[in-house]
Amino acid sequence: MKTFDSLNLSMPIMQALKSKGYNIPTAVQAEAIPLVLEGRDIFCSARTGTGKTAAFALPLLDMLSNNQKVSRHPRALILAPTRELAQQISDNIREYGKYTKLKHTVIYGGVSQKNQVDSLRRGVDIIIATPGRLLDLMQQKHISLHAVSTLILDEADRMLDMGFIVDIKRIAAEIPAERQTMLFSATLPENVRTLAARLLKKPVNVDIKADVATDTHTRELVYYIDRTSKTELLQRLVQEESIDRSLVFTRTKHGADKLVKMLARNGIMAQAIHGNKSQAQRQKALNQFKNRKLVMLVATDVASRGIDVSELSHVINYDIPEQSETYTHRIGRTGRAGQDGVAYSFCSPDEKSYLYDIQRLSGKSIPVADNHVDLLIDPGTFNAGQAGKKMKGKGNFRRRR
């Protein structure tokens, strides 16, 4: 088994790792770090929660600190799809680089640009940014990327899902062609492969497959249920299972707000995180959740990207995601670092096709729950857009193949 000591990282980086108690790299870290240190382009696929951020952040900090230059222009650019993920990467860079002299800044929309521009004027080595705000500041001549020698795209699949492909191409065109480029993604749809072929030069593919030992940390269950009964089921699960740490996913911003209000009427304290909330509101809710002042966060998929909470016991798919890959991102937020986790999915008749797609993508069936049967529907009676019959009595559901 590899240790961080065997990866030839410099003393300041090792000192930071030891201060956090990190000794053993994850699979993606053990495979990617030596390749990054060699200067290779990387095309990496690994599921959410496997340590991808450290896989690129550690060797990046190592290379930059060993090649200090007196320059106010950034030498590395990390692109992320959302404000939350950009901030999370920034926090990790700060922790891992605290014994170096490197400077970084994080750039995203939804807040005043003043502090971001001031930081750029003082000079930084690393920029972590969402594409939209970065392009805005570039157009205002606040940023030049002519000195960037390393480009990293994190959660590339989500960036493309959010329509950032044109922005990414415009940004990449402003960076010298002679550079090291890394692309990290939890899933590999065709558009991600096409982007990798365009941006990377003779890349090394790092494909970390989920293994049985890792998968067993997250227990998955699906509840077949009418849409009108979902809130009652959620309340029952929270109260009867004493769930005090859950991330609940809804499909829409309105749905998230509505669910929070309904839960409040029953004494369950939750907050919603979505695109209509200001960055300050979203950060406040996340901090309250991390500090255990809230038992639940209700989030849409875009806003949830980058939420990294230790000891998150439950992920609940109140709405089944329309895109199969999104399910992987969602449940990857629990069962991390060897801890147990639970992922519940509430599937109404109009969502059955989404569930089938998820199971087809993963190659496995999600077990069907057999408790709270008074609220549930026999999956064999499902028809798209038509409610099925309520179950009578207890027992396992008959599965339709």
What confidence score (pLDDT) does residue 363 get?
83
- Its sign, for the CA torsion 236, 244, 155, 207, is negative
Least confident piece of the model among 225-234, 277-286, 302-311, 338-347: 302-311
Dihedral sign for Cα atoms in the order 212, 214, 217, 223: negative
3-state DSSP assignment of residue 41: coil
Cα-flanking dihedrals φ and ψ of residue 96, to 5°?
-70, -25
Q: Which residues contact 76 (CB under 8 A, 6 or more apart)?
A: 60, 64, 125, 126, 127, 148, 149, 150, 151, 152
- Say yes or no to pLDDT of 110 above 70: yes
Q: What is the pLDDT of residue 377?
A: 86
Residue 176 in contact with residue 148, Cβ under 8 Å? yes
**pLDDT over threshold 50, residue 200:** yes
**pLDDT reading at 388 higher than 50:** no
Q: What is the pLDDT of residues 248-298, one digit of tens each?
A: 999 999 999 999 999 999 889 899 998 888 878 888 888 888 888 888 999
Predicted confidence at residue 216, as pLDDT, reads: 43
Q: What is the pTM of this model?
A: 0.70
Q: What does the pLDDT look like over 56-102, one tens digit per residue?
A: 999 999 999 988 766 789 999 999 998 888 988 999 999 999 999 99
Of 86, 95, 80, 83, nearest in space to 13 by CA: 95
Share of the chain above pLDDT 70, in %: 89
The region that residue 267 occupies, defined by phi over 0 for left and psi between -120 and 50 for alpha, beta otherwise, is: left
Dihedral of the alpha carbons of 33, 163, 176, 42, in degrees to the nearest 10 = 20
Higher per-residue confidence, 115 vs 157:
115
Res 70: pLDDT? 63
- Please classify residue 139 by burial: count the beta carbons closer than 10 Å to its beta carbon, then call 0-12 exposed, 13-18 middle and 19+ buried: exposed
DSSP code, position 225: B
Q: What is the rounded average pLDDT of the residues 139-165? A: 92
The angle that helices 27-37 and 52-65 make with each other, rounded to 10 degrees, is 30
**CA pair distance 229, 243, nearest whole angstrom:** 19
**The CATH number of domain 212-381, selected from 3.40.50.300, 1.25.40.10, 3.30.70.580, 3.40.50.2300:** 3.40.50.300
pLDDT of residue 323: 85
Whole-angstrom Cα distance, residue 65 to residue 222?
Answer: 48
- pLDDT at residue 213 in the model: 38
What value, to the nearest 5°, has the Cα angle with vertex 167 and ends 161 and 168?
80
pLDDT tens digits for 5-57?
Answer: 999 999 999 999 999 888 999 999 999 999 999 999 999 998 777 789 999 99
Q: What is the pLDDT of residue 218?
A: 81
| CATH code, 4-208 | 3.40.50.300
Return the pLDDT at 399: 34
DSSP character for 399? P
Q: What is the mean pLDDT of residues 349-355?
A: 93
Whether residue 398 is predicted with pLDDT greater than 60 in this model: the reply is: no
Residue 395, pLDDT above cutoff 70: no
pLDDT attached to residue 270: 92
φ, ψ (nearest 5 deg) of residue 308: -130, 100
- DSSP, res 379: G
**CATH 3.40.50.300 segments of the chain:** 4-208, 212-381
Report the C-alpha gap between 219 and 35 in whole angstroms. Answer: 34
Query: What 3-state class would DSSP assign to 125?
Result: coil
* Average pLDDT value over all residues in the chain: 87
pLDDT, position 336: 65
Check residue 304 and give its pLDDT.
61
pLDDT tens, position by position, 121-150: 999 999 999 999 999 999 999 999 999 999
What DSSP state is assigned to residue 38?
T
